[in-house]
Amino acid sequence: MSARFRAGLVLVTAALAGCAGGDGGGAGSHDAMTIQDRLAQYATVRLSADLSHLDPADREVVRLLIEAVQPMDSVFWKQAYGNRAQALALAHGDPDVERYIEINYGPWDRLHGDEPFVEGVGPKRPGANLYPADMTREEFEVAVAGEGGEALKSLYTLVRRDEAGELVAVPYHEAFAAEHAAAATKLREAAALATDPGLATYLRLRADALETDDYQPSDLAWMDMKNNPIDVVIGPIETYEDKLFGYKAAHEGYVLIKDQTWSERLQRFAALLPDLQRGLPVPDAYKAEEPGTDSDLGAYDVVYYAGDANAGSKTIAINLPNDEEVQLRKGTRRLQLKNAMRAKFDRIMVPIADELIAEDQRGHVTFDAFFGNTMFHEVAHGLGIKNTLDGKGTVREALREHASAMEEGKADVVGLYMVQKLFERGELTEGSIEDHYVTFLAGIFRSVRFGATSAHGRANMVRFHYFQEQGAFTRDPETGTYRVDFDAMRRAVDGLSALILTLQGDGDYEGVSRLMEEKGKVTPDLQADLDRLDRLGIPRDIVFEQGVDVLFGG
């Protein structure tokens, strides 16, 4: 480790005490919304699960894992904003404003493009609190090109200034030493009790990773787990919070209970990945990488969310690990969060369909199709290409801040492409392709309400505009409802799959930037339809009652 790599630690405490906001600015573009309106966007869901099938020792493991992931909340506060107490003080004692700050991990509304909802708070910085407030992109690029500069791009470092004002990288395990140590202690206690040997090994290795920032051994061990009745995702995982470069992983945690019956139904699809890769609608060079065959599909009930996973809109499926080397060696595991998914379908998707989908097509909006589309979205992350064809490095490095949005867009449309192929081959027999198409369209309306600045939101807007241009759906101006053209939808799925896979393989940053600029925005007509959903009081997302007391009573 170079001296420059370590030097930033002297200033990290002061930097973490700051906030991620910009200077000046007002309360955002949704000024007419009261704080009660904003809170009403979330339906409250109580997170619980049946633990009766677990050994008593494993029930204690669940309790310990909840305690292990809770420090991830504290870390994410520091990454997203800075000092949590200072953020809550912006509410001036108003409990509703405090609650909304807690939901968003700062004073910016994640469901409305990160607009500030507290008077006098400026815009959120694209780099959140992961980089110095006064750092420019050009300054960063120059520093990266210098001696030891690669550490500045690491997933697992903060970028700070040393006493001379130079940019330096501070390892996560040093910047967040107290939180990582607390989590590692609980993980090791859980490992000592876990009845599944694979889970125990993973927990010990993950504890080590939190203390070293070397996550690959634990990622490999996580991929090797097959029979674990309990699971946990913990640590720095996704890069969505870093909208400046997409380099920095944010901390999060999930505690999960496996649904063995549903998982057995899903697992057979993992073996089909290599064949599905070969069938992608692009030239061979863009599908030359062989996806790992150890990929795992499983259904889980989630009993705790923390950190990035709990900020704003809530995840309903997980595809990990993100390490490209692990993906190529082992594949990925796709975890469907069934109880959270069911809550979103019942509370949000069905009311949206009743308002925006043509009446004679509403019967095609089904939970099985919603579950399947979500599952194959996660499966599709493992298809396509991870490394650019011309040596620009990984797709993630080449596409920088657009990488997450393009990857989410790929997963959505290639996932639906896979559904088409599996119906054609007779591998999928429940429901119909029409169910998946109409549910997919309803899902775009649901997801784009998260805000067009999120990776998922921008991906949804690109797809919405592309499909509209291709005639995949039409809008009835009299009823304000949308109708799917099934033949045109099939062609649009093929075309957009090919476009995104090609842009990724080429590492075409300029081409992706143009696509996002042209199609990554919400148009006034669409916004008017989305506003109808708000006026009807249809929630945008869910928020949780969760914790040891909720799960176990007490």
Per-residue pLDDT 10s for the chain (554 aa) are 443 333 444 444 444 445 565 444 333 346 688 999 999 999 999 999 999 999 999 999 999 999 999 999 999 999 999 999 999 999 999 999 999 999 999 999 998 889 999 999 999 999 999 999 999 999 999 999 999 899 999 999 999 999 999 999 999 999 999 999 999 999 999 999 999 999 999 999 999 999 999 999 999 999 999 889 999 999 999 999 999 999 999 999 999 999 988 787 777 777 787 888 888 999 989 888 876 655 678 899 999 999 999 999 999 888 899 998 998 888 888 898 999 999 999 999 999 999 999 999 999 999 999 988 988 887 788 788 888 998 778 888 888 888 888 898 899 999 999 999 999 999 888 899 999 999 999 999 988 876 655 666 777 888 899 999 999 999 999 999 999 999 999 999 999 999 999 999 999 999 998 988 888 788 888 889 988 998 999 999 999 999 999 999 86
Contact predicate 197/206, CB 8 Å: no
Query: Which amino acid, 327?
Result: Q
Q: What tokens does 21 get?
A: 């906001």
Distance (Å, whole) CA 491 – CA 470? 8
| 129, 19 contact by CB (below 8 A) | yes
Gap between the Cα atoms of 264 and 256, Å rounded: 16
> What pLDDT is stored for residue 12 in this prediction?
45
3-state helix, strand, coil in the chain (%, to 5): 55, 15, 30
Q: Which strands form 296-307's sheet, in the order they lie side by side?
A: 230-238, 250-259, 296-307, 333-337, 317-320
* Tokens 């929630």 belong to residue: 539
CB 196 within 8 A of CB 232: no
Tell me whether residue 101 is exposed, middle or buried, using C-beta atoms within 10 angstroms of its C-beta: 0 to 12, 13 to 18, 19 or more. Answer: buried
Residue owning tokens 């000046």:
24
**Among candidate residues 384, 328, 16, the one with its CA nearest the CA of residue 176:** 16
Instruction: Say what the pTM is.
Output: 0.81
Structure tokens at 150: 């690669």
The helix (run of H) or strand (run of E) holding residue 104 is helix 95-104
What count of Cα atoms within 13 Å lies in the side-chain half-sphere of residue 503?
Answer: 24
Pull the structure tokens for residue 381.
Answer: 């992350």
Going from the C-alpha of 137 to that of each of 2, 113, 250, 401, the distances in angstroms are 23, 21, 20, 12
The backbone torsions φ and ψ at residue 306, rounded to the nearest 5 degrees and listed phi first, read -145, 150
Burial of 299 (0-12, 13-18, 19+ CB in 10 A): buried
pLDDT at 7: 42
Where on the phi/psi map is residue 246: left (φ > 0), alpha (ψ -120 to 50), or beta?
left
* DSSP track, 187-208: HHHHHHH-SSHHHHHHHHHHHH
Q: What is the pLDDT at residue 26?
A: 37
Name 224's Cβ contacts closer than 8 Å, sequence gap at least 6: 198, 201, 202, 294, 330
